Structure 1
Amino acid sequence: MTVAGQAEAAGGQSARYWLFAGFCVFLVQILAEYWMGRLPICECGYVKLWEGTVNSSGNSQHLSDWYTPSHIIHGFLFYGLGFLVLRRKPLAAKLLLALVIESAWEILENSPIIIDRYRTATISLDYYGDSILNSAMDTVFMTLGFFFAARAPVWVTVVIAIFFEIFTGWIIRDNLTLNVIMLVWPLEAIKTWQSGL
């Protein structure tokens, strides 16, 4: 085998290693949420492709909802982070970093401390956490966003992220930016505006 062939084979094995590690991270997320007592699916007993009502018991329980664009943007951002800090590593290594961050957030988001924070600091008074299915799909949508950002021109990714933020902000008065602000530094003016929906 030539040197080039050996390098190509080594690269393929490396990519498989990073992808396997990423799958393991995803599996840990699901198992951790199960051990935390999260419901596998909506308490309603069925699965919907889309839950379009934000202030409902089905929000954050089904395959997708109005917060799905935020998770796609997570993928955009995590690809950018991976590009900056793992510049010489393969795409699969950058994906592993993205999966570690997203899965850690999903586990934290469904912990009592963050659920209570949502209920006290934001308008999500009835938020009681994600179903395992919804949380897993959040990670899947992050992954889709990651792969999109890896292939698309930067300006296209930025335009889509801005569109998602403006559109969801207009429709449900919430988006990734507002969500972060209200979790980290709640502003009464934003809470009042969001409550007017």
Structure 2
Amino acid sequence: MMARGTGWNWVLPLMAALLAAQAAVQLAMGRVLICTCGTIELWHGEVNSSGNSQHLSDWYTPSHIVHGFLFYGALWLLMGRRVGVAPRALLATLVEVAWEVVENTPMVINRYREATMALGYTGDSVVNSLADVVAMWLGFALARRLPVWLSVATVLGLELLALWAIRDNLTLNVLMLLWPVDAVRQWQAG
């Protein structure tokens, strides 16, 4: 629930503007609006398919929820109570939107193909990318409401779930993008 005077009245329009800018930039970059299959699925669970990262949610959605937890925690540690939750949510949105744009550049898409298990990765559809920001918001909102121990448990649970289901998660994704490990790549390939 948003209380008066907390900053949400000016932050929410800016967050919406960031989403609109994200979509406009990605469309200008040549990203497809929706899956080229012509449909929008609520969930697409097949990682090694042309539909991965093209629909509203997939096995990488938990990583974006984790982003929200991490952004909330990091911004709380850096800014504490000096800065309200609304401006921190705006900053988290700015970071997530920037990542979504950078993640869908040819340079990063090629890096994913070279260094990770995402050999056929073509980038996100605009709809998937926008949904990733919404997933981050969910994680941010949960982190705000949950006790720290439950936030940590939720992050660990999401990471372990993705690791079990697809042999990938945010931790491995970052590792493989920054410092590829052949043993991890071979394990991920099954």
Tell me the TM-score normalised to structure 2 length. 0.95
Question: Which runs of at least 4 in structure 1 moved beyond 3 Å after TM superposition?
Answer: none
Of 126, 136, 140, the match for 1:142: 136
Counterpart CA distance in 2 for 1:163 and 1:90 is 28
Q: Deviations over 1:63-88 (max 9, x none)?
A: 10000100000000011122122321
Of 161, 171, 176, the match for 1:177: 171
What is aligned with 2:86?
A: 92
Counterpart CA distance in 1 for 2:164 and 2:117 is 16
> Once the 2 structures are TM-superposed, how far is the Cα of residue 18 of structure 1 from its aligned partner?
2.0
Q: Deviations over 1:19-69 (max 9, x none)?
A: 222221121111110111100000000111111110000000001000010
RMSD: 1.2
Structure 1 gaps, min length 5: 1-7
Aligned residues: 187
Counterpart CA distance in 2 for 1:47 and 1:18 is 29
Counterpart CA distance in 1 for 2:75 and 2:165 is 31
Q: Does 1:190 align with 2:184?
A: yes
Query: Which protein is bigger by CA-based radius of gyration?
Result: 1
Of 30, 33, 38, the match for 1:45: 38
User: CA contact under 8 A between 1:15 and 1:90: conserved in structure 2?
Assistant: no
Q: Does 1:109 align with 2:106?
A: no
Q: Deviations over 1:98-150 (max 9, x none)?
A: 00110000000000010000011111110010000000000001001100100
Structure 2 gaps, min length 5: none
Counterpart CA distance in 2 for 1:118 and 1:185 is 12
Name the SS for the 1:86 alignment partner. helix
1:1-197 matches, within 5 Å, as 11-12=5-6, 14-87=7-80, 88-196=82-190
